[in-house]
Homo-oligomer: A and B are copies of this chain.
Amino acid sequence: MESLQDAASLADLGRETREASRVLAALSPEQRTEAVEQMAVALEESVAEIVAANREDLAAAEAEGLSSALYARLKLDEAKLASEIAGVRSVGRLPDPVGRRQIRRELDTNLILTRMTCPVGVLGVIFESRPDAAIQISALAVKSGNGAVLKGGREAERTCRAIMTALRRGLAHSAAPAAALQLLTTREEIAQLLTLDRYVDLIIPRGSNAFVRYVQDNTRIPVLGHADGICHLYIDRAANLDRAVALAVDAKVQYAAACNAIETLLVHSAIAPTFLPAAAEALREQGVRLLADNRAAAYIRDAQIATDADWGTEYLDLVLTVKTVGSLQEAIDHINTFGSRHTDAIATEDAEAARNFLSLVDSAGVYHNASTRFADGFRYGFGAEVGISTQKMPPRGPVGLEGLVTYKYLLEGTGQIVADYAGSEARPFTHRDLEE
């Protein structure tokens, strides 16, 4: 990582990445795909170094008493690395997101407007623990023509260094500049990175809710991601009982620590007497602790009573709040008030109720008779996932490579001036969309 140590400051590193990203953006799709392949080759050649570095990180983590969950996420052995390298190659095979014509319009004879996708520029990616994130994000960045400045967790520092050394060596064997990928190693650099709006175009934070909120509150750079994932499943009065129970169990326990797992079950009071005892039993069998409002608690054996704060809490654990509602509208209002605009579902056999729910719930994902756990770029068929965004503006929801490109307008003329199209003798525009 010479260039990193030589960099007089983080701003220099930012400028260097910006310049490298411009070279990368100007490469052909074939050259960018080849650069991704060279990254995979270099990782293959460096398996021994990377695994050895990871063992050092693991030993240090053990000595510091890292939790077993974090330890598992930190671990990168031969098998996991092989699957990550296969992942790099599958990113290389994705359709190229750059250079797509979205608009091609004649404004007048020989005056052609084209809107074309292009890379965003430089990504700032901050992640915790999982060193494989460095591999995935680097592959996605290079495939989409973007430079990236990465900052991994301190506990993964040796592994990340070994990975980035390999990835940059791979780039050096391609037409892409090695400086397009950079690694930061100290925590202090995070705050500085967030101020580099001149050189960094998009921040992608991957970490705890509190961390993402810190990032959102401390930068002018657009942030792709989400803090909370407070997802709901609403059991309508017209729900099919068995399906509804299965959906509730899957949405809560299939992977409770995921952002798209539900935190709250809303139940129409008309179906509560039949649904709740069955659902509570099925959830209890999976080890789920239930916090219920008073009306719901009447149908749940040994239920704890939920407090107001529970409706806005993301447990990321086998805990589920349960609330009865008197109407579909009350369910929608609860979700729009306490939800985090991530993913919310309705279970019902009533098509009209489903239509209203999908129309009125203001979330990135609105589901009818499907588990919220489907909210994921791979399951949506995007091939790769950059993250899930709960911002209102696009990209929203699970974001694939598409979230790493923007567009620019190209106008190609033969000397046209606006004065000819203004005033009483104004020449009219044709505004004719051209076939490709």
Apart from A216-B220, A370-B416, list 17 A-B contacts with CB within 8 A.
A22-B336, A26-B360, A105-B380, A107-B381, A217-B220, A222-B392, A222-B393, A254-B419, A255-B418, A365-B409, A367-B410, A367-B412, A370-B413, A374-B411, A393-B393, A393-B406, A394-B407
Set B201, B247, B371, B415: member contacting A392, Cβ < 8 A: B201
In the complex, what residues of B have CB within 8 A of residue A240's CB?
A: 415
Q: Which residue of B lies closest to A415 (CB)?
A: B243
In the complex, what residues of B have CB within 8 A of residue A32's CB?
A: none
Q: Which residue of B lies closest to A223 (CB)?
A: B220
In the complex, what residues of B have CB within 8 A of residue A254's CB?
A: 417-419, 422
Contact B380 A409 (CB under 8 A): yes
A residues contacting the other copy or chain, number (CB 8 A)? 71
Q: Tell me the minimal C-beta distance from A45 to chain B in angstroms.
A: 31
Say whether, besides A396-B407, A406-B392, A418 and B371 are in contact (CB < 8 Å): yes
Q: Which residue of B lies closest to A361 (CB)?
A: B408
Q: Is A379 an interface residue when CB atoms closer than 8 A count as contact?
A: yes
Q: How far is the CA of A367 from the CA of B418 in the complex (A)?
A: 13
Q: How far is the CA of A369 from the CA of B416 in the complex (A)?
A: 7
Q: Is A5 an interface residue when CB atoms closer than 8 A count as contact?
A: no
Set B246, B394, B416: member contacting A406, Cβ < 8 A: B394
**CB under 8 Å from chain B, chain A span 290-321:** none
Residues of A whose CB lies within 8 Å of any CB of B are 22, 25-26, 105, 107, 111, 113, 120-121, 201-202, 216-217, 220, 222, 240, 243, 246-247, 249-251, 254-255, 336, 347, 354, 358-360, 362-371, 373-375, 379-381, 391-394, 396-398, 406-419, 421-422, 429, 431
In the complex, what residues of B have CB within 8 A of residue A113's CB?
A: 380-381
Set B222, B412, B419: member contacting A250, Cβ < 8 A: B419
Q: Which residue of B lies closest to A111 (CB)?
A: B370
Q: How far is the CA of A249 from the CA of B418 in the complex (A)?
A: 10
Say whether, besides A336-B22, A396-B406, A409-B380, A416 and B201 are in contact (CB < 8 Å): no
Contact A429 B381 (CB under 8 A): yes
Q: Tell me the minimal C-beta distance from A213 to chain B in angstroms.
A: 10
Contact B362 A411 (CB under 8 A): no
In the complex, what residues of B have CB within 8 A of residue A410's CB?
A: 358, 365-368
Contact B250 A359 (CB under 8 A): no
Q: List 24 A-B contacts (CB under 8 A).
A: A22-B360, A107-B374, A121-B392, A202-B392, A216-B220, A217-B220, A243-B414, A246-B417, A250-B419, A254-B417, A365-B410, A366-B408, A367-B410, A367-B412, A367-B413, A368-B411, A369-B412, A369-B414, A370-B412, A370-B416, A375-B409, A394-B394, A396-B408, A397-B409
